[in-house]
Amino acid sequence: MTLPALFTLVVLVAAIAAMIRDLLPPAGAVLGALVLLLLFGVVTPAEALSGFSNPAPITVAALYVVARAVERTGALQPLVRSMLGEGPSSRTGLARLLVPTAGASAFLNNTPIVAMLTPQVSDWAYRQGHPPSWFLMPLSFAAILGGTITLVGTSTNIVVSGLMVASGMEPLGMFELSVVGLPLAVAGLVVIVVLAPLVLPDRRGVRREFEDETREFVFGMEVEVGGPLDGSTVEDGGLRHLNGVFLAEIHRDGEALAPARPDTTLRGGDRLIFVGQVDQVVDLQKLRGLRSTEHAHALDLTRPGHTFYEVVVSDSSPLAGSTLKELGFRGRYQGAVLAIHRAGERIHAKLGGVRIRHGDTLLILTDDGFGDRWRHRSDFLLVSHLGGSPPVGTRMAFFTAAVTAGMVGVVAVGLMPMLNASLLAAVLMTAGGALTAAEARSAVDLDVIILIAAAFGLGEALRSSGLADLLAGGIVASSQTLGPLGILLGVAVVTMILTELITNNAASVLIFPIAISTAAAAGLDPRPFAVIVAFSASAAFLSPVGYQTNTMVYGPGGYRFLDYLRLGVPLTFVLLAVLAILVPRFWGF
């Protein structure tokens, strides 16, 4: 192994380890690795920046704008209303939900689809008497499967198509993947509908668990008239930094002041609602001017005067790795965290001192404007309003649907390349009033765009350093006794493992040069190897961290990490079998 190849391997392993252990967000880890390789001369500036001139990142950015316009205008609401009917059984309900979800995901980014459907599916499941855990993981899996059907179904397909162009191959056609993607999606949906009710556990999400256990954690105190707290603010009265509990809201004259703010002036007779563990209320017992109320209290999720949101923390959020106290959560987000849900369990501790992790679900007491402020920011993967009515379609819904269909159509018949069509659609969405310019800018996930562009440079380092050829030789040597199909499946398995450890886009870019080198070493056509990377990088069904939509439903479904294996393992084996049969048939060696 040459010195450049060895150095590239060390940097690559360090970047992957940083992503696996959540030391850095994927974009930061990949970009940092690329900068190191550039500084040490493994790649030239032109190679390092090759991803920023490739059509793939810009195309993905444009499609984010299109998807946001569809979400904002409610263009999918007629589909949502039709799928969430009154099913007589859990399997009927699953079928009604999953088939349209996969169909929509074939043409739209799956993240906004899952974000829009998760709260509605949760409420619908409760009304049907079924646990949301039977439906939310299948919802994510169906969106992933639908994304494999067309070129625009997932950003991974677009990234692989861009890599193919950079390698001198023809790009993927709009429906080139459909000959395998459609049977793959059908087989996957059948597996999900049959197995999900049998293997998925009955789990409670953070909202239902909080509702069920609220009396154990919510209690009231009353401000004594004329006492030391009468006329003081929450901050001055010492109610901001309590041990084991926090002040959630203040009841005064039949109204709720929520969340309780530091500068709120207390009055005699105010009823203060605290959240925490009753047996740890040491600080409250020492405070003069408060007395216990005689009856139990509960926070009503439907009472006017305050609003509850359920949010899922993203990997790029400033919350990840910090505590609520360190961030000054109440001041920053204008809300109070009432519960934290992690790995299927509610955390029973002083919430201000809990170090937040990627994928944690928070139940927040806040005002009505919280959703508008944070729904489309990188702080949260999912922002779900509790107890509210689903969004309704706007007069722009037909316009956005028509523009989206037109984008797909002109690419399908060859009138425009994907880059041109997606940019035109994004411009039309903004010029036509479906989105403001600010909303269009916020729709683009810059972390994903930087990750894709930087990963192209990292892929160039694998190629130019010779590391891709070395790894390809290992794959060929270990699987050549099984023939070309065995080598192809070896690439698929490696890609699936890597996408579970990091992200689908990063995995596709890192594996692509290795896959092409593997094909060259075995004397085979590289196109089926490029295609297998596209499919395998999207086959993230074994963990909540391999794909963004899996993380989004992790907390709301009340899942534990190993729950994903219950459904993901049989689904992955079925998909590998379908790929083994169909990919060589349509893209010969």
pLDDT in tens, 237-248: 888 776 666 777
Please tell me whether the peptide bond between 417 and the residue prior to it is cis, using omega within 30 degrees of 0: no
Lowest mean per-residue pLDDT among 73-77, 129-133, 487-491: 73-77
Task: Give the pLDDT score at 581.
Answer: 95
Q: Of all residues in the chain, what percent are helix, strand and coil, respectively (each to 5)?
A: 60, 10, 30
Domains of the chain plus CATH, in order, are: 3-205+403-586 (no CATH), 225-288 (3.30.70.1450), 307-385 (3.30.70.1450)
C-alpha span between 196 and 202 (Å, rounded)? 11
Which two tokens mark 341? 């849900």
Mean per-residue pLDDT, 242-262: 75
pLDDT digits (tens, 9 = 90+) for 135-194: 999 999 999 999 999 998 888 999 999 999 988 899 999 999 999 999 999 999 999 999
CA distances from 199 to 35, 122, 128 (A): 45, 19, 19
Q: What pTM, to 2 d.p., does this model score?
A: 0.75
Which uninterrupted H or E stretch holds 221? strand 218-223
Q: Is the pLDDT of residue 350 over 90?
A: no
Question: E strands within 359-478?
Answer: 361-366, 380-385
Element (H, E) at 315: none
Look at residue 510 and give its three-state secondary structure: helix
CB-based burial, 547-569: b 16+ in 10 Å, e otherwise: bbbbbbbbbbbbbbeebbebbbe
Question: What was the pLDDT predicted at 298?
Answer: 47
- pLDDT for res 141: 95
